[in-house]
Amino acid sequence: MSSDNPRFATPSALEGAAVDAAILTRHSMRAYLPRPVERPVIEDLLRVASFAPSGTNTQPWQVHVLTGAAKARLSDRITAAYLDPAQNAAHQEEYAYYPEQWKSPYIDRRRKVGWDLYGLLDIAKTDKARMQQQHGRNYEFFDAPVGLIFSIDRVMQQGSWLDYGMFLQNIMVAARARGLHTCPQAAFTQFHRLIADELQFAPEQMLVCGMALGYADPQAIENSLVTERVPVAEFTRFYE
């Protein structure tokens, strides 16, 4: 095998720094500029992301890209159901994203990021109406020009969902390499039946999550939120 095969080449310091920068500057952005993202950019981003590893190369991801009127139709349907108490109550998640019983430190981190975001937006803890309004912005993809919906075949098991996470991370990192931002969104899972109907899912398709994609609005206060990260020493053990 040739020694100049790029698979075995050591990245230059500049290339390594670029990868690190894409990872470190990835944050969930909740406000976007109206600037469109051209289809060739989306296609290239997904092509790169598809090199994520998957068990025995199963590649379990299925991507639905929404822009323009198609994105507006889906957002309108979900928003109407979300704002109607009776309809909202009739829609339940198909799988549990979060634990049924929370414990520390996870519940503490969850509460902190929530109150940090609401603090930036000047939403008081008692202001349920504004909390609902802010959560509802999920279903508009936070005004991003591109909405991504991800599905998986129902026969696939937990390992394939791990593979899917690596694919999603690749999308978010590749987006940063192109000056774009994202926000992965589990909020869509509550309305999986509406999404399946609108996008004409085959019966074997199951919703995984959604994601906003676009150029983040640098003036939006919510985009200044930076979540804390636990030091390596706190979550790692070394064995020699």
Structure confidence by residue, pLDDT tens digits, 118-127 = 999 999 999 9
Q: Is the pTM of this model over 0.85?
A: yes
Percentage of residues in the chain having pLDDT higher than 70: 99
What is the DSSP secondary structure assignment for residue 154, as one 8-state letter? T
For residue 236, what pLDDT band results from cuts at 50, 70 and 90? very high
pLDDT computed for residue 6 by the predictor = 82
pLDDT for 61 beyond 80: yes
Q: DSSP string spanning 73-126? A: HHHHHHHHHHHSHHHHHH---SS-SS-SS--TTHHHHHHHHHHHHHHHTT--TT
Q: What is the mean pLDDT of residues 45-72?
A: 98
Average pLDDT over residues 26-42: 98
Q: What is the CATH number of domain 16-229?
A: 3.40.109.10
Q: Do the beta carbons of residue 214 and residue 148 sit within 8 Å?
A: no
CA-wise closest residue to 139 among 97, 95, 91, 107: 91
Mean pLDDT calculated for residue range 37-60:
98
pLDDT band for 4, please (50, 70, 90 cuts): confident
DSSP code at position 9: S
At 89 the pLDDT is: 97
Rounded to the nearest 10 degrees, the angle between the axes of helix 13-24 and helix 158-177 is: 110
CA distance 182 to 17: 21
The three-class DSSP label of residue 210 is: strand
Asked whether residue 1 carries a pLDDT value surpassing 90, the answer given is no
Two structure tokens written together for 215: 């150029």
Residue 141 has pLDDT above 70, yes or no: yes
What pLDDT was estimated at residue 190? 98
Tens-place pLDDT, residues 179-225: 999 999 999 999 999 999 999 999 999 999 999 999 999 999 999 99
The percent of residues in the chain predicted with pLDDT above 90, rounded, is: 95
Q: Is 177 exposed, middle or buried (0-12, 13-18, 19+ CB in 10 A)?
A: middle
The structure tokens listed for 68 are 């323009």
Say which residue, 167 or 7, is predicted with more confidence. 167
pLDDT, averaged across the chain? 96
